[in-house]
C-alpha cells in the first residue's frame, strides 16, 4: 500500500529482515477490535455506508474466529498483523475492506493495538499476583505455629514466625500489583486518530472510538501519541520488579529445601532429579524463576536503549518494542502461574524449623517482642510461663531463657 513511488521491488533480504508477523500476530484480537471501532466512526462520519460497515464487521469477526481456531494463514510478505488482516478482509469483501484504512495510519493503529493488549495483560497479571498471595497466605496459615530463624546478612538473627516471613512476600506482591495497576491507568488512553504524525483532514469522532473501546480519555498530541512507548517501559519496569521479588522468594526456597536447612520439602511434581546422582532433588522451578528475572531486567533495558536516541516521532526502531514486551508478559505470567501451584504443595518440616530457631549458640539473643503473636520464640515463651507460675526474679528468668531483655 506504500509502494506507489518506488521503481524497484523490495529485496527479499529486506522483506525477511523487516517482517514482524512472526511475533506481532498475537495482537490480532486487539487489532480487529480497533478496526471495528474505527469503521464505526467512519460510518458515523458518512465516509462509509451502513451496509459497508456491516460487511467490514462481519468480515473481521470471521477472520478473528479463523485465527482463534488456528485456520488462518499468515503471510510474511505482508509484513505485520495489520496488513495481513486488512488484505484478507479486502480479498473477501472487496471495496469496503479497502476503505477501512481511511483516516488511519499504521503508526496510530499499532499504538492502539499495543495499549489494548497491555491493558488486558495488566489485568491478567494482577489476578495472577493475587493467586500467588493466596498461596503464600494459605501456606502460612497451615503452619501458623512454626518458628524459624530470621536472617540478616544471611546470619541467624532473631526467631520469627514462618508465616511472618511469607507475609513479607505478600507485601512485595501487593506493591507489584499496585505498580501494574498504576501503569495500566496511564496506558489506558486512546491514540487512534493521530494518523502518521499530525492527524487527518478527515475529522472522525475520537470520543466515539474511545467509548467503543472502553477508554476513559483520548491522547492530546498526535506527535506524542504515535511515538510514545512510556507506557510499555512502565509496565516492563513493574514486571521486572515482579521478577526480582520472585527471584528473592526462589532463593529462600532453594536454601530452605536444601539438606543444610531442611525447612521445607518441595513437591516431586515441581522438582527434578539427576541422571548420575539419584539422591538429588533439584528445585528447578525456583532456579528457573531466579534465572528468568535476568530476562525481565534485560527486556526493560533493551526497550529503554531502543527509545533513548529516537527523534520525534515514529521510527521503525519502535518495531523492536514488541518482542521484549511479549517476552516479559509471557515470562511473568508463566512464573506466577507455576509459583501459585507449587506453593500450595510445599510441606514444612516443623521440627527442623524449631530446632534451628532454638539453637541459641548460633542465633544469639532474642530482642524485645514487638508483638506477642508475631515476634515470639520458644525460650521467651518458656520464660514467660516460668515468671507467671513461680515468679522468679527478672534476672533469673532472663538467664533461664537466654534472653537479655
For residues 18 and 80, is the Cβ–Cβ distance under 8 A? no
| 101 catalytic residue (yes or no) | no
Confidence at residue 5, expressed as pLDDT on a 0 to 100 scale: 67
Closest CA to 238 of 187, 306, 307: 187
The residue ranking higher by pLDDT, 359 or 156, is: 156
Q: Please identify which of the residues 58, 105, 153, 163 carries the catalytic annotation.
A: 153
**Which three-class secondary structure state does DSSP give residue 186?**
helix
Q: CA-CA-CA-CA torsion for 64, 12, 311, 28, nearest 10 degrees?
A: 10
Confidence at residue 359, expressed as pLDDT on a 0 to 100 scale: 78
Asked if the model's pLDDT at residue 67 lies above 90, the reply is yes
> CATH number of 12-102: 1.20.1560.10, 1.10.275.10, 1.10.10.10, 1.20.1260.10?
1.10.275.10
Domain ranges of the chain: 12-102, 107-352, 366-405
Tally the C-alpha atoms within 13 A of residue 149's C-alpha that lie toward its C-beta: 24
Dihedral angle sign, alpha carbons of residues 35, 37, 42, 43: positive
Please count the other Cβ atoms lying within 10 Å of the Cβ belonging to residue 153: 6
Band of the pLDDT at 3, cuts 50, 70, 90? low
pTM of the full structure: 0.88
Confidence at residue 274, expressed as pLDDT on a 0 to 100 scale: 82
CA-CA distance, 165 to 150, in Å (whole number)? Answer: 8
User: What are the E-state strand segments in 49-102?
Assistant: none
Contacts of 287 (CB under 8 A, 6+ apart): 250, 254
Band of the pLDDT at 360, cuts 50, 70, 90? low
| 247 catalytic residue (yes or no) | no
Closest CA to 246 of 284, 283, 293: 293
84-134 pLDDT, tens digit per residue, is: 999 999 999 999 999 999 999 999 999 999 999 999 999 999 999 999 999
The phi, psi pair for 52, rounded to 5°, reads -65, -40
Query: What is the DSSP secondary-structure string of 117-171?
Result: HHHHHHHHHHHHHHHHHHHHHHHHHHTTT-EEEEEETTEEEEEEEHHHHHHHHHH
For residues 374 and 368, is the Cβ–Cβ distance under 8 A? no
Q: Please identify which of the residues 18, 22, 258, 274 carries the catalytic annotation.
A: 274
Asked if the model's pLDDT at residue 404 lies above 70, the reply is no
CA-CA distance, 284 to 302, in Å (whole number)? Answer: 27
Query: Please, what is the average pLDDT of the chain?
Result: 90
Band of the pLDDT at 172, cuts 50, 70, 90? very high
Confidence at residue 402, expressed as pLDDT on a 0 to 100 scale: 37
> CATH number of 107-352: 3.40.50.720, 1.10.3720.10, 1.10.357.10, 1.20.200.10?
1.20.200.10
Burial (CB count within 10 angstroms: exposed 0-12, middle 13-18, buried 19+), residue 299: buried
Asked if the model's pLDDT at residue 389 lies above 50, the reply is no
Band of the pLDDT at 23, cuts 50, 70, 90? very high
Band of the pLDDT at 388, cuts 50, 70, 90? very low
Asked if the model's pLDDT at residue 371 lies above 70, the reply is no
Any idea how long the chain is?
A: 405
* Cα–Cα separations (whole angstroms), residue 133 to 69, 248, 296: 34, 15, 21
Please count the other Cβ atoms lying within 10 Å of the Cβ belonging to residue 191: 27
Confidence at residue 4, expressed as pLDDT on a 0 to 100 scale: 62
Amino acid at each position: 500500500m506504500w509502494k506507489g513511488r518506488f521503481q524497484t521491488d523490495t529485496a527479499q533480504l529486506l522483506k525477511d529482515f523487516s517482517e514482524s508477523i512472526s511475533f506481532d500476530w498475537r495482537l490480532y484480537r486487539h487489532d480487529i477490535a480497533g478496526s471495528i471501532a474505527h469503521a464505526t466512526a467512519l460510518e458515523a462520519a458518512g465516509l462509509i455506508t451502513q451496509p459497508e460497515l456491516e460487511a467490514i464487521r462481519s468480515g473481521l469477526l470471521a477472520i478473528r474466529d479463523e485465527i482463534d481456531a488456528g485456520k488462518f494463514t499468515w503471510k510474511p510478505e505482508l509484513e505485520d498483523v495489520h496488513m495481513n488482516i486488512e488484505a484478507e478482509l479486502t480479498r473477501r469483501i472487496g471495496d469496503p475492506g479497502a476503505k477501512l484504512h481511511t483516516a488511519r495510519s499504521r503508526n496510530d493503529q499499532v499504538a492502539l493495538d499495543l495499549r489494548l493488549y497491555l491493558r488486558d495483560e495488566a489485568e491478567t497479571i494482577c489476578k495472577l499476583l493475587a493467586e500467588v498471595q493466596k498461596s503464600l497466605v494459605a501456606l502460612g496459615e497451615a503452619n501458623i505455629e512454626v518458628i524459624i530463624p530470621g536472617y540478616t546478612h544471611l546470619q541467624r538473627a532473631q526467631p520469627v514466625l514462618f508465616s511472618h516471613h511469607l507475609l513479607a512476600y505478600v507485601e512485595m506482591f501487593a506493591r507489584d500489583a499496585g505498580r501494574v495497576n498504576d501503569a495500566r491507568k496511564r496506558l489506558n488512553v486512546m491514540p487512534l486518530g493521530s494518523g502518521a504524525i499530525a492527524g487527518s483532514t478527515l475529522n472522525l469522532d475520537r470520543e466515539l472510538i474511545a467509548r467503543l473501546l472502553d477508554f476513559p480519555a483520548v491522547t492530546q498530541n498526535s506527535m506524542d501519541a504515535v511515538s510514545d512507548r512510556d507506557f510499555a517501559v512502565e509496565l516492563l519496569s513493574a514486571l521486572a520488579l515482579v521478577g526480582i521479588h520472585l527471584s528473592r522468594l526462589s532463593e529462600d526456597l532453594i536454601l530452605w529445601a536444601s539438606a543444610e536447612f531442611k525447612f521445607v520439602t518441595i513437591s516431586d511434581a515441581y522438582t527434578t532429579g539427576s541422571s548420575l546422582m539419584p539422591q538429588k532433588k533439584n528445585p528447578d522451578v525456583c532456579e528457573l524463576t531466579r534465572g528468568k528475572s535476568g530476562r525481565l531486567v534485560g527486556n526493560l533495558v533493551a526497550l529503554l536503549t531502543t527509545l533513548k536516541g529516537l527523534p520525534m516521532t515514529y521510527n521503525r526502531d519502535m518495531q523492536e518494542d514488541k518482542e521484549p514486551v511479549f517476552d516479559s508478559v509471557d515470562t511473568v505470567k508463566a512464573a506466577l502461574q507455576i509459583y501459585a501451584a507449587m506453593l500450595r504443595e510445599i510441606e514444612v518440616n516443623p521440627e527442623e524449623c524449631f530446632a534451628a530457631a532454638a539453637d541459641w549458640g548460633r542465633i544469639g539473643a532474642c530482642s524485645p517482642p514487638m508483638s506477642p503473636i508475631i515476634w515470639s520464640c520458644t525460650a521467651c515463651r518458656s520464660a514467660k510461663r516460668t515468671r507467671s507460675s513461680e515468679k522468679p526474679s527478672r534476672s533469673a528468668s532472663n538467664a533461664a531463657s537466654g534472653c537479655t531483655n
